[in-house]
């Protein structure tokens, strides 16, 4: 039997102002995108902002539907839009701001499994890590160096031959 332990490191910041200005700006854009979320059922609004290598920023917000599987998370809205609008341009980082509607409390929320897998696909395709910036309503930020850290043993194209 072989045992292997998977570990990763995060950086945590108590305040947005403790981050470099470029990352603050990206989180602010994600926060603005969150205001346009359509979340009448869960009341959990999420905004995402993707920074591309060409310095373009693409935003997304969660869009719910009464038929719950039909909605789409903010992260996938932003990442898929970036892929459609700027094909071949690598994603440097993605900022995600999530909290209950009209709430300033709450810790940072990590992307759901579907979003992790979707972001992993882009990270794998571009062969470069995508930095993750996660912020909740309380202003605390968690920074991960790559989505692969949040999705160990990810299902990738290598499984398909």
The one catalytic residue among 23, 64, 75, 123: 75
CB distance 54 to 93 below 8 Å:
no
- Three-state DSSP at 158 gives helix
> Quick one: what percent of the chain has pLDDT higher than 70?
97
Which residues share a beta bridge with 141?
13, 135
Q: How much is the pLDDT for 103?
A: 62
Low-confidence ranges of the chain (pLDDT < 70): 102-105
pLDDT digits 0-9 by tens, 104-133? 667 899 999 999 999 999 999 999 999 999
53 is catalytic: no
* Strand ranges across the sheet with 141-144: 10-13, 141-144, 131-135, 91-100, 44-52, 57-61
Helix (H) or strand (E) holding 54: none
Q: What is the pLDDT of residue 104?
A: 62
What structural domains does the chain harbor? 10-151 (3.40.140.10)
């Amino acid at each position: 039997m072989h045992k292997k332990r998977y570990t990763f490191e995060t950086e945590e910041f108590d305040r947005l102002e403790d981050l470099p200005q470029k990352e603050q700006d990206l989180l602010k854009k994600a926060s603005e995108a969150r205001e346009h979320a359509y979340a009448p059922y869960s009341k959990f609004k999420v905004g995402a902002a993707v920074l591309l290598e060409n310095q373009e920023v693409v935003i997304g917000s969660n869009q719910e539907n009464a038929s719950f599987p039909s909605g789409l998370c903010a992260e996938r809205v932003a990442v898929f839009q970036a892929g459609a609008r700027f094909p071949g341009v690598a994603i440097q980082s993605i900022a995600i701001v999530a909290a209950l509607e009209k709430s300033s409390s709450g810790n940072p929320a990590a992307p759901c499994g579907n979003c992790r897998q979707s972001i992993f696909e882009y990270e794998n395709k571009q062969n470069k890590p995508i930095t993750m910036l996660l912020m909740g309503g309380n202003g605390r930020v968690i920074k991960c160096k790559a989505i692969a850290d949040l999705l160990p043993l990810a299902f990738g194209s290598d499984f398909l031959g």
